[in-house]
Amino acid sequence: SDLHWDAAAGHYRFGEIDWSELHEVIKGRGQCNHERLQAKRRAWEDGAWVRDGAMAHAAKNAASAA
């Protein structure tokens, strides 16, 4: 790896950036993309009860306000 700490300069030194790797990540083909999307879907599904409860509460408040 070209990344290393330069104590004399007080910052990291790095080499050439692999732009093709960055472009693949942007296109959704990153190394953790599948896992990230799975976690997002699972969080959405696991939070359904909260959304359902909030909608029921809003409907109850709207009915009592009418």
Instruction: State which amino acid sits at residue 18.
Output: D
15-52 burial, b at 16+ Cβ within 10 Å, e below that, comes to eeeeeeeeeeeeeeeeeeeeeeeeeeeeeeeeeeeeee
Q: What is the pLDDT of residue 35?
A: 94
Rounded mean pLDDT for each run of 10 residues along the chain, 66 residues in total: 92 92 91 93 98 97 91
Q: What pLDDT is attached to residue 1?
A: 59
User: Rounded distance, CA 65 to CA 42, Å?
Assistant: 35
pLDDT score at 66: 82
Q: Where are the alpha helices (DSSP H) in 1-66?
A: 19-26, 33-46, 48-65
**Residue found by looking up tokens 């993309």 in the block:** 33
